[in-house]
Amino acid sequence: MKKTAHIISHSHWDREWYLPFEKHRYYFIKLMNNLIDEFEQEGNQFQSFHLDGQTVLLEDYFAVHPENREKVKQLIEEKKLTIGPWYVLQDAFLTSSEANVRNLLIGMNDAKAYGHVSKIGYFPDTFGIYGQAPQLLKQAGIETAAFGRGVKPTGFNNTVSDTPNFESPFSEMIWKSPDGSSVLGILFANWYSNGNEIPVDEEEARVFWNHKLQDAEKYASTNQLLFMNGCDHQPLQKTIPEAIETASALYSDYTFKHSSFDEYTDALKKVLPEKLQVIEGELRNQRTDGWSTLVNTASARIYLKQWNNRCQTLLEKIAEPLAAFGYLANGTYPREYIRFMWKSLLKNHPHDSICGCSVDEVHREMVTRFERVSQMGEVFVQEQAAELALTVDTSKTPDGGIPFVVMNTTGWNKNEVVTKLVDLEKVYFSQMHFEEIPAYLRDKEMPAYKLVDDQGQTVEFQLVSPTVEFGYDLPDDKFRQPFFAKRATLSFYAEEIPSFGYKTYYLVPEGHSLVQQQIKAPVNDLEMENEFVHLLFHEDGTYDVTDKKTGKAFHRLGIYEDTGDVGNEYMFKEAKGYSAITTKGIPAEFTLVERSALRTVLEFKHTLSIPVSADEQLDVERHKLIWHKEREAGRANEMTAISLRTVVTLEKGMKGPAFKLFINNQATDHRLRVLFPTGLQTETHQADSIFEIVTRPNTPEKEWENSSFCHHQQRFVSLSDDKMGVTVATDGLHEYEILQKDGTIAVTVLRSVAELGDWGYFPTPEAQCLGLQTAEWQVLLHQKDVLASKAYVDAYQYKVPLLAIQTSIHEGKLPGTHQFVNWETNGLVWSSMRVAEEQDDVIVRWFNPAGQKEMLKAAIHDDARSYKSSILEEKTTDSKNLYEVEGHEIITLGFHHKR
Ligand SMILES: [Zn+2]
């Protein structure tokens, strides 16, 4: 049977990588201009070009050539230029579940507006892919995914595979999500450059094709062969029509076709064998020697991951739900501004960007992008919250009282200590000469207060250190209004703040003391305790933590471990010689910072002596481009001291202590981790991933040679036996390893390297992360595992705070306590709440972390109708009140809000 060689012209365009963005863009403009010229030439046989699956490239181009917008649109409509479905080619594991959805939603909407969307789930270079990707693609109407990594192709000789995990005899396979959704998976078994630079010259072409045809046929399950005519930042090969002519003359058994993914997959699907290997779940290169997984990009430049986690949380867990509340209250939704914030953040999500595996200029620019997103998010939240608070009726505030509204933008009820700056009294410059205000406010005696909620219940609180500070209002209809305020820090325990809702509190003058409430004196300064846990610290900063309900304890958690690293931004390679240096047995210096009814804060400091850098061998190896696996470099003999300051906080209501580590990093070429030796002996553990709490083995497959076996996590990692468990929730710490010895969870808090890695020598001194670095996590104890105990609720809420807004006394249509969306279910994970991208329905998303069915009931008010929607916010079922959610299903509901 005649075979078809599909040649797809493309260029894999990392927006920024070994060059900063603007330098790569210079070459991209050239590529686009060449493409347009090529397509415009009369009689030209150049058929089509695949624009790397990401629509952001067009924005990059139009910023320089806005005059070519219509021309490009026409090329897309004519399917000569193929774009989408993504906005950027993101890293799959280092961006949140919602960021992965938004990337698809925004990319598909953009591509649609340009004229045509490529319906291929394109992951050419992605450093591993999450297991729920087939479900996401399926919900978006995409039936095929193409990827370059994750699965090992074994070739024809192994057509009957007895190892179903992550091994396929063919480059075509079925890829299945845990919920059972599946797509056709196409592996670039010979990489996405297997048809790059095809010769026109007959002799050269013969050599090229003899080799390339054989390579493709080794893995192809059909007579439809795929050749990717391009590579990273590949310029246009204009001579493809001539090269095809040469090839056609040489090989009469083959049809050579300048093709597209649409044409290739159509032809492929007609001839696919009945039975293809089924690959289930995550694609993480687990059936390899472990030296090229790129997993340690999870710990390269951790500061970027922390920035990202903060920005994602700000947009998806605070700003969007808050704006949706505003929509339900006032009928307006700043959709365009929200999309702009998302696009700005997504520009930091390409694999070479968020992975921290580019040159220093790239990551410096990323920090300013994160700063901009955070500025936008902050002003947005401040203004939206203030507007919403104006619709809440505070007219019944007791005399002289200060009302404020505590908002819960998450999908779970919250009990949490709220800390808020309150302006006890404000004097505007229009009321008094500004030079006189500070003294007036300082000398003015303030009344004592009590704190009550809108049900009249008295609430315990602390009000400390009033100071006089400058501030200003920016009214909608007037010039700026400067003032001085007498400002104090108010802390109180906010209880039962409804999910997707708020509760109003009043600070009311009363004959009550302003002094902090005292509790019983500390028994011992090295202990801390609340209603859930008790902690006892040892001299070296390790601690025993006891679950007060069950009496079960874990001992000596929290050891710091330092190891030499002679690898690069992609991969960790332990330096030879030295064994790990730890804080075990090294006395720490303790300080009690605060002990009140609401919180205990303890601080301890270590000075750890470690080698100042790698030894001289490393520099030689870097310059000779010695691959990380082969490196022999060790650590230097010269030592330096790094200081580690740990602040532990345990507040009322917290299920476990929260830690913030301040590292003054003065050493290079090393890795610092925090170790939790749980003593639990298990085969597997669980980790938070994209719309999934995934179970992974503690030990690698037999092919694995790398002595390090690290993994990705989104927000937490968990180890448990059938009785008890420990979950470590983190803020942008995405790398962990499970060490079988002592059942230890090791979380990377800092990795210092000095080169990019990959195809040349690119020094990246800033990847050493010198100076002050921080890391934050929370330790949660539970019975059974993280799922059965629902400890994930606390883990997902870590670092998603309540929002407290001081407001004026006014009438309003909303009551003092309110919930915008009521929902009932036993075990779903809330993910998002917003108003749809292209219509006015409120969209709320959850996923089922368990394998069994769950029921979900949800309503925005008594008569609100809801429907099931795809992740693209398209209605898929009729209105219902009760939904059956399949195991591992991602469920999105739309609420049609009648106003
Ligand atoms: Zn790439």
| DSSP 8-state secondary structure symbol assigned to residue 767 | G
873: which 2 tokens? Answer: 């916010």
| C-alpha 14 to ligand 1 mean position (Å) | 5
Cis peptide, bond prior to residue 587, ω within 30 of zero: no
Please say whether the beta carbons of 486 and 538 come within 8 A.
Answer: no
Report the 10 Å Cβ neighbour count for 521: 6
**Model confidence band, residue 251 (pLDDT cutoffs 50, 70, 90):** very high
CA separation for the pair 182, 177 (Å, rounded): 6
CA separation for the pair 465, 764 (Å, rounded): 45
CA separation for the pair 606, 583 (Å, rounded): 8
Longest dimension (CA), the chain: 99
| Over residues 99-121, mean pLDDT | 97
How much is the pLDDT for 518? 42
| C-alpha 16 to ligand 1 mean position (Å) | 9
pLDDT in tens, 442-453: 999 888 999 999
Question: Measured in whole angstroms, how far is the alpha carbon of residue 584 from the centre of its chain?
Answer: 32
| C-alpha 388 to ligand 1 mean position (Å) | 43
**Shortest CA distance to 696 belongs to which of 65, 178, 117, 66?**
178
| C-alpha 13 to ligand 1 mean position (Å) | 7
| Over residues 283-288, mean pLDDT | 92
CA separation for the pair 392, 501 (Å, rounded): 12
Please say whether the beta carbons of 491 and 598 come within 8 A.
Answer: yes
**Shortest CA distance to 423 belongs to which of 486, 510, 492?**
486
Please state at what angle helix 335-346 crosses helix 360-390, rounded to 10 degrees.
160
User: At 858, which amino acid appears?
Assistant: A
Please say whether the beta carbons of 831 and 848 come within 8 A.
Answer: no
Please say whether the beta carbons of 471 and 437 come within 8 A.
Answer: no
Please say whether the beta carbons of 670 and 567 come within 8 A.
Answer: no
| DSSP 8-state secondary structure symbol assigned to residue 25 | H
| C-alpha 352 to ligand 1 mean position (Å) | 6
Compute CA distances 186 → 3, 255, 256, 561, 840, whole Å.
18, 21, 20, 41, 37
| C-alpha 52 to ligand 1 mean position (Å) | 10
Question: Measured in whole angstroms, how far is the alpha carbon of residue 286 from the centre of its chain?
Answer: 22
Over 90: is that where the pLDDT of 578 sits? no
**Shortest CA distance to 774 belongs to which of 644, 649, 668?**
644
Compute CA distances 887 → 177, 714, 755, 856, whole Å.
11, 20, 43, 13
524: which 2 tokens? Answer: 């011992």
Over 50: is that where the pLDDT of 521 sits? no
| C-alpha 292 to ligand 1 mean position (Å) | 14
pLDDT in tens, 546-573: 999 999 999 999 999 999 999 999 999 9
How much is the pLDDT for 702? 92
Q: If you search the block for the tokens 């070739």, which residue do you land on?
A: 155
The residues assigned a catalytic role are 125
**Model confidence band, residue 862 (pLDDT cutoffs 50, 70, 90):** low
Which residues make Cβ contacts (< 8 Å) with residue 574, sequence separation at least 6? Answer: 563, 564, 565, 566, 707, 708
**Shortest CA distance to 893 belongs to which of 837, 838, 833, 843?**
843
Cis peptide, bond prior to residue 85, ω within 30 of zero: yes
Of residues 214 and 825, more confidently modeled: 214
Which residues make Cβ contacts (< 8 Å) with residue 178, sequence separation at least 6? Answer: 131, 132, 280, 281, 692, 851, 887, 888
Over 70: is that where the pLDDT of 479 sits? yes
| C-alpha 345 to ligand 1 mean position (Å) | 18
CA separation for the pair 668, 504 (Å, rounded): 51
CA separation for the pair 844, 859 (Å, rounded): 11
Please say whether the beta carbons of 752 and 767 come within 8 A.
Answer: yes
| Over residues 300-323, mean pLDDT | 98
**Model confidence band, residue 163 (pLDDT cutoffs 50, 70, 90):** low
| C-alpha 401 to ligand 1 mean position (Å) | 58
| DSSP 8-state secondary structure symbol assigned to residue 742 | G
| Over residues 582-590, mean pLDDT | 96
The three-state secondary structure class of 789 is coil
pLDDT in tens, 392-402: 999 999 999 99
CA separation for the pair 175, 145 (Å, rounded): 8
**pTM (global) more than 0.95:** yes
Among the listed ranges 90-94, 287-291, 722-726, 857-861, which one has the minimum average pLDDT value?
857-861
| Over residues 342-351, mean pLDDT | 98
Question: Measured in whole angstroms, how far is the alpha carbon of residue 506 from the centre of its chain?
Answer: 37
How much is the pLDDT for 318? 98
The three-state secondary structure class of 527 is strand
| C-alpha 149 to ligand 1 mean position (Å) | 12
The three-state secondary structure class of 318 is helix
CA separation for the pair 463, 515 (Å, rounded): 8
CA separation for the pair 226, 243 (Å, rounded): 16
User: At 593, which amino acid appears?
Assistant: V
User: At 841, which amino acid appears?
Assistant: D
**Model confidence band, residue 160 (pLDDT cutoffs 50, 70, 90):** very low
| Over residues 531-555, mean pLDDT | 97
Compute CA distances 182 → 134, 220, 614, 877, whole Å.
5, 20, 47, 21
User: At 789, which amino acid appears?
Assistant: S
| Over residues 513-524, mean pLDDT | 47
CA separation for the pair 886, 245 (Å, rounded): 52
CA separation for the pair 468, 439 (Å, rounded): 9
- Strands (E) across 565-657 are located at 581-582, 589-595, 599-611, 639-651
Could you tell me the sign of the dihedral formed by the alpha carbons of 104, 110, 112, 114, in that order?
negative
CA separation for the pair 302, 643 (Å, rounded): 18
| Over residues 621-639, mean pLDDT | 96
471: which 2 tokens? Answer: 């501030």
pLDDT in tens, 804-843: 999 999 999 999 999 999 988 889 999 999 999 999 999 9
User: At 641, which amino acid appears?
Assistant: A
Q: If you search the block for the tokens 């979950």, which residue do you land on?
A: 727
| C-alpha 123 to ligand 1 mean position (Å) | 9
CA separation for the pair 546, 406 (Å, rounded): 31
| C-alpha 93 to ligand 1 mean position (Å) | 15
| C-alpha 91 to ligand 1 mean position (Å) | 10
CA separation for the pair 328, 342 (Å, rounded): 22
DSSP class per residue in 71-121: HHHHHHHTTSEE--SBSS-B-SSSS-HHHHHHHHHHHHHHHHHHT----SE
Count of residues making up the chain? 899
| C-alpha 165 to ligand 1 mean position (Å) | 25
**Model confidence band, residue 325 (pLDDT cutoffs 50, 70, 90):** very high
| Over residues 793-813, mean pLDDT | 97
Please say whether the beta carbons of 490 and 420 come within 8 A.
Answer: yes
| C-alpha 192 to ligand 1 mean position (Å) | 11
Which residues make Cβ contacts (< 8 Å) with residue 688, sequence separation at least 6? Answer: 694, 713, 714, 715, 716, 717, 792, 795, 796
Percentage, residues of the chain above pLDDT 90: 91
Could you tell me the sign of the dihedral formed by the alpha carbons of 207, 209, 212, 217, in that order?
negative
Helical ranges in 508-599 per DSSP H: none
| Over residues 164-186, mean pLDDT | 92
**Shortest CA distance to 71 belongs to which of 60, 58, 52?**
58
What is the overall mean pLDDT for the chain? 95
User: At 497, which amino acid appears?
Assistant: I
Q: What is the CA radius of gyration of the chain?
A: 29
How much is the pLDDT for 860? 82
How much is the pLDDT for 120? 97
Over 80: is that where the pLDDT of 601 sits? yes
- Torsion of the alpha carbons at 876, 877, 878 and 883, rounded to the nearest 10: -140
How much is the pLDDT for 152? 86
The three-state secondary structure class of 660 is strand
Among the listed ranges 155-164, 233-242, 360-369, which one has the minimum average pLDDT value?
155-164
494: which 2 tokens? Answer: 């906010």
| C-alpha 693 to ligand 1 mean position (Å) | 27
| C-alpha 127 to ligand 1 mean position (Å) | 9
For residue 491, list its beta bridge partners: 419, 462
pLDDT in tens, 4-34: 999 999 999 999 999 999 999 999 999 999 9
| C-alpha 147 to ligand 1 mean position (Å) | 12
Over 60: is that where the pLDDT of 512 sits? no
Please say whether the beta carbons of 320 and 334 come within 8 A.
Answer: no
Instruction: Name the helix (H) or strand (E) containing 759.
Output: none
How much is the pLDDT for 899? 61
CA separation for the pair 208, 247 (Å, rounded): 10
CA separation for the pair 862, 208 (Å, rounded): 69
